[in-house]
Amino acid sequence: MQTFIRAVLKSSKFMNVVGGAILVFMMLLTVLDVVLRWLGIPIAGTYELMGYCGALVIGFALAQTSLDDANVTMDILTQRLPPMRKDVLLVITKVACLILFIFISWALFLKGSDLQKGKEVSPTLRVPFYPVAYALAVCSFLECIVLLCDVVCIVVQGGENE
């Protein structure tokens, strides 16, 4: 089990690094576009690339954000609960999120398949949409695995996964 958890941690870290690299690319593209616009030579398709990249940054950071417990929580509601009830509430919440992300991952995979079959591309750069949908499906699936590991750790160890 520890080997599996280590693999999940490495995968999440790798995806987060990829998301960070995409974010740096977005920043550099924005700066370059602003400078070139000022010189009268705008970069075509910047808006499309920002849309693609924005979705990818969020998707690739998702699993690591969960592992770091950096999501918004409502501690004010749970801080007065006894540890056992807090763990039960945490497991219920994580299982609900797991189910949600299973559906999200499946829907994104189906959407990617439809976009690939339809050969849909962006209007300016003619970049296909389906790789982004597939990448987000993989990101959502990794989030499912992270949530499952969290639930198992809470049940086995009795407390939040550190």
Question: pTM of this prediction?
Answer: 0.89
Under 8 Å between Cβ of 30 and 47: no
Mean pLDDT across the chain, nearest whole number?
92
- Give the model confidence (pLDDT) of 5-36 as tens digits: 999 999 999 999 999 999 999 999 999 999 99
**C-alpha–C-alpha distance, residues 104 and 98, integer Å:** 10
Residue in the block written with tokens 């576009």? 33
Under 8 Å between Cβ of 91 and 159: no
Q: If pLDDT is split at 50, 70 and 90, which confidence band does 70 have?
A: confident
Which one-letter DSSP state was computed for residue 2? Answer: H
Q: How many CB atoms within 10 Å of residue 112?
A: 21
